[in-house]
Structure 1
Amino acid sequence: MTTTGSAAITGELRRRILSGELAPGERVPSTRAITREWGVAIATASRVLAALQAEGLVRAVPGVGTVVAAPADPSAPTEPGVAAPPWARSRAPATDRAVPEPVLTPERIVGAAVRVADVEGLTAVSMRRVAADLGVVPMALYRHVGDKDDLVVRMLDAALGEWRPPVDAPAGWRPRVEVAVRALWAGFRRHPWLAHALSITRPQLIPAGMAYSEWVLSALDPHLEPTEAFDVHLMLINFVRGTAVGLESERDAEAASGLDNEEWMAEQEPALLALVSSGDFPHLQRMVSGEYDLDVDALFERGLRLLLDGLAVQFDRSADASRTAAPPWTRA
Structure 2
Amino acid sequence: MTNTTGTAGEPPYRTIAADIRRRIAEGELSPGDPVPSTRRLAAEWGVALATATKALAVLRLEGVVEARPRIGTVVAGTGPAAPQPRRRPSAAPDPERELSLARIVRAAVDIADGEGLAALTMRAVAARLGVAPMSPYRHVPGKDDLVLLMADAVFGEVSYPAGAAGEWRPRLELGARTLWSVHRRHPWLAQVGPLTRPLLVPNLLAHAEWMLSALDGHGLEPAAQFEVNVLLYGHVHGLAVHLEREANAAAATGQSDEQWMDGRAAALSELLASGRFPTFARVVGSFRDGYDLCLDSLFESGLKAILDGLAPVVEGRTAPTGGN
Aligned residue number for residue 84 of structure 2? none
1-structure distance, mates of 2:223, 2:195:
16
Residue of structure 2 in register with 1:259 after alignment: 255
1:232 aligned residue (223, 228, 235): 228
Q: Does 1:222 align with 2:223?
A: no
2-structure distance, mates of 1:300, 1:111: 28
Match of 1:21 in 2: 22
Structure 2: runs of 5 or more not aligned: 30-34, 63-74, 81-91
- 2:272 matches 1:285: no
Counterpart amino acid of residue 168 in structure 2: W
Q: CA deviation at 1:70?
A: 3.9
Alpha-carbon distance between aligned partners in 1 of 2:121 and 2:235, rounded to the nearest angstrom: 29
1:320 Cα deviation (Å)?
Answer: 6.9
Q: Is the 8 A contact 1:99 1:135 kept in 2?
A: no
1:236/1:145 CA distance change after superposition, 3 Å: same
Structure-2 separation of matches of 1:27 and 1:311: 43
Superposed CA deviations along residues 241-289 of structure 1, whole A, max 9, x for unmatched, are 0011111011122234332212221222222112221111122223433
Contact in 1 for aligned 2:152/2:202 (Cα 8 Å)? yes
Bigger shift: residues 222-231 or 284-293: 284-293
What is the aligned partner in structure 2 of residue 62 from structure 1?
A: none
Deviation at 1:90, TM superposition (A): 7.5
Query: What is the identity, as a one-letter code, of the residue corresponding to 1:18?
Result: A
1:165 aligns with: 160
Greater Cα shift, 7-16 or 307-316: 7-16
Cα distance in 1, alignment partners of residues 276 and 302 from structure 2: 28
- Counterpart for residue 266 of structure 2: 270
Asked if residue 175 in structure 1 is aligned to residue 170 in structure 2, the reply is yes
Q: Per-residue CA shift, 1:82-124, capped at 9, x if unaligned?
A: xxxx99x979xxxxx9943442111111110001001111111
Q: Secondary structure at the match of 1:138?
A: coil
Return the offset for 1:11. 5.5
Does 2:283 correspond to 1:296? no
Deviation for aligned residue 1:72: 7.2
1:132 aligns with 2:133: no
> Separation in 2 of the partners of 1:320 and 1:257?
49
Q: Distance in 2 between matches of 1:283 and 1:9?
A: 54
Q: Distance in 2 between matches of 1:26 and 1:247?
A: 20
| Aligned-residue identity in percent | 44
CA contact (8 A) 2:37 2:114 kept: no
Gap runs ≥5 in structure 1: 32-44, 60-66, 76-85, 92-96, 323-332
| Structure 1 residue 169 displacement after superposition | 2.5
Amino acid at match of 1:202: R
What is the alpha-carbon distance in structure 2 between the residues aligned to residue 10 and residue 218 of structure 1? 65
Q: CA deviation digits over 1:283-309, x for unaligned, max 9?
A: 222343312221111100000001011
Query: What is residue 314 of structure 1 aligned with on the other side?
Result: 313
| TM value normalised by structure 1 | 0.73
Structure 1 residues 9 and 313: CA distance shift in structure 2, 3 A: farther
Does the C-alpha gap of structure 1 residues 273 and 173 become closer, same or farther in structure 2, counting only changes over 3 Å? same
Amino acid at match of 2:280: L
User: Given that residues 276 and 285 in structure 1 are in contact (C-alpha distance below 8 angstroms), is that contact kept between their aligned partners in structure 2?
Assistant: yes
TM-score (norm. length: structure 2): 0.74
Q: CA deviation at 1:48?
A: 5.9
Q: Quick one: which amino acid aligns to residue 249 of structure 2? A: A
CA contact (8 A) 1:26 1:68 kept: no
